Amino acid sequence: MNGIAVGCIYGLIALGFVLIYKATEMVNFAQGDLMMLGAFVAYTLISGLGLPYWLGLAGAVIIMAVFGYLLDAVLLRPVIGQPQFAIVMLTIGLGFILRAAAGFIWGHDPLSFETPFTGKVVNAGGVVIATENLAIIFGTVLLCAILYAFFRFTRLGVAMQASSQNQLAAYYMGIPVKRIFSMIWALSAGVAAVAGILLAPKFLIDPNMGFLGIKAFAAAVLGGFGSIPGALLGGLVIGVIEQIAGVYGPPGSHETAAYLALLLVLVLKPGGIFAQIGRKKV
């Protein structure tokens, strides 16, 4: 259960990677740090300003979404068209800056805030489950359902798909592609914020929690970069493998098992579990 919950978090961060990659063909290595920032913003709203949990959650998501939008509009738009390498360096650098800024504002000591789920358990037919795990799993499922409906049924969502499938044609259709890209960043930052907030009762919040993003990146690759269900599945697989290795494997395997699994998948199926690269050439 623990594994599935952690896996959901990886999946959510991986989802952020994939959203941005699919649309803009950039890999945002600061995705984990956006999650960290989201958790800190929620901490400030809930513990600092004393807002109720749900209001704090909504507030943090909105603030992060705006932050993500501006990040793209101000920082990344001028780099579009530059080599991939420049963009990768930019996002890695951005991660460092966010980490330093968070340390500066909130300090380097781990923090936590009260959530309705902290430390409670549910007894389901003899199996004891921590509510925080349930909250994570339920939250992930809900979020995915919302995102699915958004992409499938709203005009903006379909336009986002269209821009990611064929950028040039989207321009021809009069879709404001640049604004759409910024909105995808907003969406992705919002998802990261949700991940950070859901994670908060399990781990403590500190500026380095963004390094979880590296594992989420592995999850995204595992699932076949560019596939949304793949990202979620990849996250789950890595989360569960990690837990199993932690319990049954030799010491240290908790950390390495995820990457071993990644290597294995890449050797056997280089495109990832849900490879989409071949299909995209249609």
Partner 1 sequence: MSAPILQVSNIETYYGPIMAIRGVSLSVPEGKIVTVLGANGAGKTTILKTISGVMDPQKGTVTFEGREIQKRDPDWIMRQGIAHVPEGREVFPFLSVRENLEMGAYTRKDRNRIQEDMDRVFDYFPVLRERAGQAAGMLSGGEQQMLAIGRALMSRPRLMLLDEPSLGLSPRLVSEIFTIIRRLNSEEGMTILLVEQNAHIALQTGDYGYVLEVGRIVMEDSCSRLMEKEDIKEFYLGIREQGARGKRRWKRKKTWR
**Spatial distance between the Cα atoms of 271 and 282, rounded to a whole number of angstroms:** 17
Per the structure block, which two tokens stand in for 66? Answer: 């705006």
Q: How far is the CB of 281 from partner 1 (least distance, A)?
A: 9
Is 175 a binder of partner 1 (CB under 8 A)? yes
Residues 6+ positions from 42 with CB-CB distance below 8 Å: 56, 57, 59, 60, 113, 193, 196, 197, 200
Q: Please give the C-alpha separations between residue 56 and each of 34, 49, 141, in angstroms, as whole numbers.
A: 17, 9, 20
CA dihedral for 278, 280, 281, 282, sign (positive or negative): positive
For residue 243, what are its two tokens?
Answer: 């837990």
Q: At its nearest, how many Å lie between partner 1 and the CB of residue 55?
A: 33
Q: x/- binding map, residues 221-260, to partner 1, per CB under 8 A?
A: ----------------------------------------
Give 169 or 260: the residue with its C-beta nearer to partner 1.
169
What radius of gyration do the chain's Cα atoms show? 19
**Contact, 195 vs 188, CB < 8 A?**
no
Is 282 a residue that touches partner 1 (CB under 8 A)? yes
Site map for partner 1, 128-167, x if CB under 8 A? Answer: ---------------------------x--xx-xx--xx-
Q: Which of 173, 247, 260, 266 binds partner 1 (CB under 8 A)?
A: 173
**How many residues line the site for partner 1 (CB under 8 A)?**
18
Q: Helix 253-268 and helix 212-222: axis angle, to 10°?
A: 30
Cβ distance 233 to 216 under 8 Å? no
Q: Which one, of 10, 8, 13, lies nearest residue 29 by Cα?
A: 13
Smallest gap, in angstroms, from Cβ of residue 84 to partner 1?
A: 19
172 scored as a contact of partner 1 (CB under 8 A): yes
Contacting residue, 124, 168, 267, 268, with partner 1 by CB under 8 A: 168
In one letter, which amino acid is 100? A
Look at the block and give the residue holding tokens 């907003």: 186
Q: Determine, following the binding rule CB under 8 A, whether residue 278 of this chain makes contact with partner 1.
A: no
Residue whose CB is less far from partner 1, 169 or 263: 169
Q: Of 159 and 237, which has the nearer Cβ to partner 1?
A: 159
Minimal distance, residue 177 CB to partner 1, in Å: 8
Task: Work out how close the CB of 31 gets to partner 1 at its nearest, in angstroms, rounded to a whole number.
Answer: 24
Q: State the residues that interact with partner 1 by CB under 8 A.
A: 155, 158-159, 161-162, 165-166, 168-176, 280, 282
